[in-house]
């Protein structure tokens, strides 16, 4: 049975469309269970009906025609109760409805199980037997297990617009695929599925006819890959500073290495054709790297593999076929890489969708820097079926519409126009202070990571940097940046904003922010080795970074240092000890060096309850609402399956934040919020009402938040908070904020997809 189950699911997953998938299901189930009929009904939510969509055993003419109301007939009972129904004689059941179209007369035994995905009943799978008999428990569990797994396959097909089309449903958003947001924004375009094309492992040995020709071909291929890398790097250089694309230089160096080139040529001379010799060199290198003790070197194996694949593509001349891009390309893949993104001419790239990864993935970071909407972590992404399809990427709500109807396309085009218009209108606020109607100033700072974030932050009038995520430059490199390299990067940010404050956070890796050259394998990475924990266990990494920051601040005095993922005061003491040590050492070289203000991120629940003790050690607090929400609600911030539970407006999150704000006020320490929540105009009003002193957000959100603050008095914001306080869930609080913004004439902030 298990085997049948596995095979059926594989077949269904390979089916070209939903209709084919459903007919495979009914045929296979009928065979496997030796029943007389198997049918699938799908729920048509628009009309509150179950529709017969496929059958093996009933009259096939009835497909698409038989429709049962919700709760009507036995199928309706299964769908409504979301439970199996097993009857020896169907017509004895009070809910039984005779449907003549399907030729149901001779059947008695009935077993129906619901097909459920993400709490939604998608349909009902039914088997019938001529004779009267109750199905055995094993049969029931078989069908049940199959239905549970089919739900994924059906919703794949459904997401491709098939269900909506088959049922002529008007509500496509019901069937949209869900992921986690990488970059907000809306994109319309055609899918371009990217994949590792050439398979080195499949290359056989082969004796070459002409050794010199093979060598020449190989050299040409290496040359071509190098040109590609340079082109990629250059193309990105038009949009991003050189610092941010260091990744490509490292790959070129590796490509030109003596071992790789000469090793392969020696293999050709020894009697193998170029692809075979290349396979051998690459595999030797990969094994050698994988065997290394040093984690950084071990990770190089994947780069070598990638380069090998690229050279092979040229040797096999598949390169030109697979690399031409059209305008409005939406890059789609199992795991879209930064180099795949870089291959698309910037003006042609409309969006990015990846089955794996999160907002911390390289590709998401680059997409954000380029302002390209991206949806990551779409578990159910049917990658194999998407190439060339029309897509709508909804980066605001992390949704993907495949083959969207005209109505959906028009809706998103309208959204794009409204966004553009709103952004233009908001420009007028750039020079105006961020203050409430009654004159309370709330400094608005920018969150940055890449150097390319600096210009937009300055342009929108950020009053400094409230969170510089230093892990970003670490993430896009292929090794730890050295002290001098780091100093130069930090200096550029500090200088760009001088004399405004720049809050530089020490390395916050771990969780989903994994460095390819510092691999950490953990079952529970978000509860594992993260942020300050790694820093204290590796003082050499921490000290190098702190020294670089201090040296970068020489003569400026606007550096503020922020410690991430702190869960107890002992960590602060240890970190301060190291910071002092670095400072004292550097003081010998630079007498004018100022000891920076040091602050702590409040993003772990335990920290939220030790504000007083922490305040004795540090100068300021910054609330990381992204992690605080994740840890308070026990919801992985990057897991699309539980994304519906992740809500920074959850009453418990608001209560934790208010308690931090109050304690910080009592002990006289300023407190800001630097999580995504600060960039949500409605939430920002609540935060200010709670007594949060400043807000830090992405440049794209800053003017929206300023508009909201300038439209309310502190008193009004407090009244809004009082009202929100009475509500019991985040959804209700969001609705309240939206209606208040609308009432204040700020409907644009709500409508523009946020």
Q: Are 574 and 567 in contact (CB under 8 A)?
A: no
Nearer to ligand PEP, 394 or 508 (CB): 508
Q: How far is the CB of 561 from ligand PEP (least distance, A)?
A: 15
| Binding flag, residue 114, ligand PEP (CB under 6 A) | no
Among 179, 184, 624, 679, binds ligand PEP (CB under 6 A): 624
| Binding flag, residue 680, ligand PEP (CB under 6 A) | no
Nearer to ligand PEP, 301 or 635 (CB): 635
Task: DSSP for 295-361, please give it.
Answer: HHHHHHHHHHHHHHHHHHHHHTT-HHHH----TTEEEEESS--HHHHHHS-GGGEEEEEESS--TTS
Taking CB under 6 A as the rule, which mask of x and - marks residues 586-605 in contact with ligand PEP? -----------------x--
* Burial (0-12, 13-18, 19+ Cβ within 10 Å), 105: exposed
Distance CA 367, CA 365 (A): 5
| Binding flag, residue 675, ligand PEP (CB under 6 A) | yes
User: Could you tell which of ligand PEP, Mg ion, none binds residue 275, using a CB distance below 5 to 8 A set by kind?
Assistant: none
User: Could you tell which of Mg ion, ligand PEP, none binds residue 405, using a CB distance below 5 to 8 A set by kind?
Assistant: none
Residue 737 neighbours by CB distance under 10 Å: 24
User: Could you tell which of ligand PEP, Mg ion, none binds residue 636, using a CB distance below 5 to 8 A set by kind?
Assistant: none
Q: How far is the CB of 688 from Mg ion (least distance, A)?
A: 21
Among 36, 104, 162, 627, binds ligand PEP (CB under 6 A): 627
Catalytic residue among 319, 362, 650, 738: 362
Distance CA 657, CA 622 (A): 11
Region of 80-88, 195-203, 622-630, 718-726 interacting with ligand PEP (CB under 6 A): 622-630
User: Could you tell which of ligand PEP, Mg ion, none binds residue 469, using a CB distance below 5 to 8 A set by kind?
Assistant: ligand PEP
Nearer to ligand PEP, 401 or 468 (CB): 468
Region of 31-39, 234-242, 549-557, 624-632 interacting with ligand PEP (CB under 6 A): 624-632
Region of 75-83, 256-264, 485-493, 625-633 interacting with ligand PEP (CB under 6 A): 625-633
Cα 634 to chain centroid, rounded: 18
Nearer to Mg ion, 627 or 680 (CB): 627
Which residues is 352 bridged to in the sheet? Answer: 331, 374
Q: How far is the CB of 508 from Mg ion (least distance, A)?
A: 6
Residue 525 neighbours by CB distance under 10 Å: 16
Region of 420-428, 618-626, 683-691, 703-711 interacting with ligand PEP (CB under 6 A): 618-626
Cα 352 to chain centroid, rounded: 10
Nearer to Mg ion, 156 or 513 (CB): 513
Q: How far is the CB of 470 from ligand PEP (least distance, A)?
A: 10
Interface of this chain with ligand PEP, residues 445 to 464, rule: CB under 6 A: none
Q: Are 160 and 178 in contact (CB under 8 A)?
A: no
User: Could you tell which of ligand PEP, Mg ion, none binds residue 313, using a CB distance below 5 to 8 A set by kind?
Assistant: none
φ and ψ at 216, to 5 degrees?
-65, -40
Among 30, 469, 669, 738, binds ligand PEP (CB under 6 A): 469
Which pair of tokens denotes residue 588?
Answer: 């010998």
Q: How far is the CB of 622 from ligand PEP (least distance, A)?
A: 8
Cα 361 to chain centroid, rounded: 8
651-666 vs 625-633: helix axis angle to the nearest 10?
120
Nearer to ligand PEP, 385 or 469 (CB): 469
Distance CA 492, CA 467 (A): 15
Q: How far is the CB of 467 from ligand PEP (least distance, A)?
A: 6
Among 19, 626, 659, 716, binds ligand PEP (CB under 6 A): 626
User: Could you tell which of Mg ion, ligand PEP, none binds residue 675, using a CB distance below 5 to 8 A set by kind?
Assistant: ligand PEP
Catalytic residue among 285, 650, 674, 738: 674
Beta strands 597-602 and 620-623: pairing type?
parallel
108: annotated active-site residue:
no
Nearer to Mg ion, 308 or 473 (CB): 473
Q: How far is the CB of 674 from ligand PEP (least distance, A)?
A: 5
Distance CA 327, CA 346 (A): 10
Nearer to ligand PEP, 283 or 567 (CB): 567
Continuous H helices in 466-567: 471-475, 483-497, 532-537, 539-552
User: Could you tell which of ligand PEP, Mg ion, none binds residue 625, using a CB distance below 5 to 8 A set by kind?
Assistant: ligand PEP
Residue 371 neighbours by CB distance under 10 Å: 12
Q: Are 736 and 720 in contact (CB under 8 A)?
A: yes
Give me the residue whose beta carbon is nearest to Mg ion. 627
State whether residue 190 is helix, strand or coil.
Answer: strand
Task: DSSP for 263-310, please give it.
Answer: HHHHHHHTT--HHHHHHHHHHHHHHHHHT-SSHHHHHHHHHHHHHHHH
Nearer to Mg ion, 478 or 603 (CB): 603
User: Could you tell which of ligand PEP, Mg ion, none binds residue 60, using a CB distance below 5 to 8 A set by kind?
Assistant: none
Nearer to ligand PEP, 518 or 583 (CB): 518
Of residues 422, 420, 417, the one with CA closest to residue 707: 422
Residues near Mg ion, by CB under 5 A: 603, 624, 627
Interface of this chain with ligand PEP, residues 495 to 514, rule: CB under 6 A: 508
Q: Are 436 and 717 in contact (CB under 8 A)?
A: yes
Region of 330-338, 481-489, 623-631, 708-716 interacting with ligand PEP (CB under 6 A): 623-631
Nearer to ligand PEP, 319 or 477 (CB): 477
User: Angle at CA 538, nearest 5°, toward 536 and 541?
Assistant: 110
Q: Are 349 and 236 in contact (CB under 8 A)?
A: no
Q: Are 489 and 502 in contact (CB under 8 A)?
A: no
Q: How far is the CB of 614 from Mg ion (least distance, A)?
A: 16
Of residues 45, 32, 58, the one with CA closest to residue 123: 45
Q: How far is the CB of 631 from Mg ion (least distance, A)?
A: 10
Q: How far is the CB of 512 from Mg ion (least distance, A)?
A: 10
Of residues 343, 342, 347, 310, the one with CA closest to residue 324: 343
3-state helix, strand, coil in the chain (%, to 5): 50, 15, 30
Which residues is 697 bridged to in the sheet? Answer: 446
Taking CB under 6 A as the rule, which mask of x and - marks residues 50-89 in contact with ligand PEP? ----------------------------------------
* Burial (0-12, 13-18, 19+ Cβ within 10 Å), 597: middle
Distance CA 485, CA 498 (A): 20
Q: How far is the CB of 243 from ligand PEP (least distance, A)?
A: 20
Nearer to Mg ion, 443 or 624 (CB): 624
Distance CA 322, CA 312 (A): 13
**Number of residues lying near ligand PEP (CB under 6 A):** 10
Among 674, 688, 695, 714, binds ligand PEP (CB under 6 A): 674
118: annotated active-site residue:
no
- In sign, the C-alpha dihedral spanning 309, 311, 316, 322 is positive
- Active-site annotation, residues: 362, 674
Point out which residues bind ligand PEP (CB under 6 A).
467, 469, 508, 603, 624-627, 674-675
């Amino acid at each position: 049975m298990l085997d049948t189950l596995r095979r059926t699911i594989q077949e269904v997953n390979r089916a070209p469309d939903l209709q084919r998938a459903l007919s495979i299901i009914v045929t296979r189930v009928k065979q496997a269970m030796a029943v007389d009929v198997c049918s699938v009904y799908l729920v048509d939510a628009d009309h509150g009906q179950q529709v017969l969509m496929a059958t093996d055993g009933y009259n096939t003419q009835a497909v698409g025609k038989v429709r049962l109301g919700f709760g009507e007939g036995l199928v309706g009972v299964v769908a409504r109760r979301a439970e199996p129904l097993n009857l020896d004689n169907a017509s004895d059941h009070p809910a039984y409805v005779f449907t003549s179209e399907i030729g149901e007369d001779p059947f008695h035994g009935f077993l129906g199980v619901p097909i459920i995905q993400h709490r939604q009943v998608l349909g009902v799978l039914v088997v019938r037997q001529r004779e009267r008999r109750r199905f055995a428990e094993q049969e029931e569990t078989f069908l049940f297990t199959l239905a549970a797994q089919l739900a994924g396959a059906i919703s794949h097909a459904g997401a491709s617009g098939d269900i909506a089309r088959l049922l002529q449903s008007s509500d496509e958003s019901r069937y949209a695929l869900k992921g986690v947001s990488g970059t907000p924004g809306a994109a319309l375009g055609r899918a371009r599925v990217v994949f590792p094309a050439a398979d080195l492992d499949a290359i056989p040995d082969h004796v070459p006819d002409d050794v010199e020709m093979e060598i020449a071909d190989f050299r040409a291929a290496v040359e071509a890959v190098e040109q590609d890398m340079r082109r990629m790097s250059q193309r990105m250089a038009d949009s991003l500073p050189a610092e941010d694309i260091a990744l490509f230089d490292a790959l070129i160096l590796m490509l030109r290495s003596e071992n790789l080139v000469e090793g392969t040529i020696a293999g050709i001379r020894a009697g193998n054709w170029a692809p075979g010799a290349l396979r051998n060199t690459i595999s030797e290198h990969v094994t050698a790297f994988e065997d290394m003790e040093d984690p950084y070197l071990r990770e190089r194996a994947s780069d070598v593999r990638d380069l090998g694949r690229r050279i092979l593509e040229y040797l096999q001349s598949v390169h030109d076929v697979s690399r031409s891009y059209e305008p409005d390309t939406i890059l789609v893949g199992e795991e879209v890489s930064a180099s795949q993104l870089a291959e698309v001419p910037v003006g042609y790239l409309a969006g990015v969708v990846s089955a794996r990864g999160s907002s911390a993935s390289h590709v998401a970071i680059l997409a954000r820097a380029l302002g390209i909407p991206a949806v990551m972590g779409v578990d159910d992404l049917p990658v194999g079926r998407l190439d060339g399809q029309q897509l709508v990427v909804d980066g605001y709500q992390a949704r993907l519409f495949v083959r969207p109807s005209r109505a959906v396309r028009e809706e998103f085009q309208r959204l794009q126009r409204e966004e553009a218009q709103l952004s233009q209108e908001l420009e007028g606020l750039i020079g105006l202070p961020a203050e409430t109607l009654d004159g309370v100033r709330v400094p608005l700072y920018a969150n940055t990571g890449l150097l390319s974030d600096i210009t937009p932050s300055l342009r929108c009038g950020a009053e400094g940097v409230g969170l510089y995520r230093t892990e970003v430059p670490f993430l896009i490199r292929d090794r730890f940046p050295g002290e001098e390299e780091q100093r130069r990067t930090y200096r550029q940010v500090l200088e760009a904003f001088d004399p405004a404050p720049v809050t530089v956070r020490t390395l916050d890796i771990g969780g989903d922010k994994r460095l390819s050259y510092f691999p950490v394998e953990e079952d529970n990475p978000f509860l594992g080795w993260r942020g300050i924990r790694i820093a204290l266990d590796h003082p050499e990494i921490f000290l190098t970074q702190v020294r670089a920051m201090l040296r970068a601040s020489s003569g400026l005095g606007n550096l503020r240092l922020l410690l991430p993922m702190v869960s107890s005061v002992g960590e602060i003491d240890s970190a301060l000890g190291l910071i002092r040590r670095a400072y004292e050492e550097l003081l010998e070289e630079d007498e004018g060096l100022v000891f920076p203000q040091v602050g702590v991120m409040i993003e772990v629940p335990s920290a939220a309850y030790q504000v007083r003790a922490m305040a004795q050690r540090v100068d300021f607090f910054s609330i990381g609402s992204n992690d605080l929400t994740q840890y308070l609600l026990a919801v992985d911030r990057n897991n699309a399956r539980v994304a519906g539970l992740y809500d920074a407006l959850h009453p418990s999150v608001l209560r934790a934040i208010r308690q931090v704000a109050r304690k910080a006020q009592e002990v006289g320490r300023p407190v800001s919020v630097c999580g995504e929540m600060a960039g949500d105009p409605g939430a920002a009003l609540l935060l200010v009402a709670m007594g949060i002193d400043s807000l830090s957000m992405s440049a794209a959100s800053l003017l929206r938040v300023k508009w909201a603050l300038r439209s309310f008095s502190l008193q009004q914001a407090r009244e809004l908070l009082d009202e929100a306080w009475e509500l019991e869930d985040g959804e209700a609080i969001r609705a309240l904020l939206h209606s208040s913004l609308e009432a204040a004439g700020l409907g644009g902030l709500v409508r523009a997809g946020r």
